[in-house]
Amino acid sequence: MILLFGGTSDSRDLAVRLTRRGLSVLVSSVTQEAADRVHEVGIRSTTGRLDTPQMCELIHKRNIRQIIDASAPFADVVSRNAMSAAKLCKIPYCRYERPEVAQDASNVLRVANYADAAYAAARLGGRILLTTGVKTLPQFADILLSSAKCELFVRFIPRTSNMRLALDHGIKKQNILAMQGPFSAKFETALYDNYSIDIVVSKEGGTAGSLPSKLKAVETLGIQMVLIDRPAIEYVNRFEDMHGLIEHVIGENKGVLS
């Protein structure tokens, strides 16, 4: 059986394609919402955050023979734990990572991490829209809310817990945009324009993370983007092409996986 770490649309697609090739797949995702999306297409899943020992326990319990790490580009803790578990359990590991979006624009400021993004946005000032997910809010709120020249807006998936976290961190109710993507460039443009946004803070989440739509919108409106680069991780057996990864898995384990 293959243990596939995911929870994204990419990982569900990959799980479906592996299953169609006759391979047995167990998807590990953090949230029940992600697990439900996998169940919809008839694939088994397990939920919860796992550290390395817990991953090893699951590997032995379910007779896992291969790990595929298709977690989101910024889920670096999952990736590091998965690589460690594969090494400890002496099973193959490979990584699927959605391609980055090629861009070279004067209005896009690239930074290395969340802290750099917060300070960069604070220096620029203005009406700032944070699109990096509610879990990153604590790393931005103190810096941006303490600046007299910044007004912070946040966009995240509509959940009660997310709303509570935003309010607890001092975000005004009228500055909370609770909505579920993906979003088109036309929608992004209208949204930024409606709220008179000056700066959009985004992660390099690739096409699946709606980055092309955001880039098109900031270009159309002539506003600034602060773009956070992906964590620097030295992956083994890294693929950006699903077909290539699947062929690698089948070729490496032919006659073994089931």
Instruction: Give backbone dihedrals phi and psi of 214, rounded to 5 degrees, phi first.
Output: -65, -45
Q: Are residues 138 and 210 in the same domain?
A: yes
Q: Are residues 49 and 133 in the same domain?
A: no
Paired with 108 in beta bridges are 225
Name the residue range of residue 122's domain.
108-228
Helices (H), the chain: 9-20, 32-39, 52-61, 76-89, 114-124, 137-145, 160-168, 185-194, 211-221, 242-253
How many residues belong to the chain?
258
Residue 191 has what pLDDT? 98
Q: Are residues 128 and 223 in the same domain?
A: yes
Q: Are residues 81 and 159 in the same domain?
A: no
Q: DSSP character for 237?
A: S
Report the CATH number at residue 215: 3.40.50.620
Q: Are residues 218 and 239 in the same domain?
A: no
Q: Are residues 128 and 203 in the same domain?
A: yes
Per-residue pLDDT of the chain (258 residues), as tens digits, is: 999 998 778 888 899 999 988 899 999 988 777 777 877 788 888 888 999 999 999 999 999 999 999 998 888 999 999 999 999 999 999 999 888 886 677 899 999 999 999 999 999 999 999 999 998 999 999 999 988 899 999 999 999 999 999 999 999 999 999 998 889 999 999 999 999 999 999 999 888 778 999 999 999 999 999 999 999 899 988 999 899 999 999 887 665 544
Which residue, 79, 126, 142, 138, is CA-closest to 226? 126
Q: Are residues 72 and 178 in the same domain?
A: no
Q: Are residues 134 and 224 in the same domain?
A: yes
Residue 257 has what pLDDT? 47
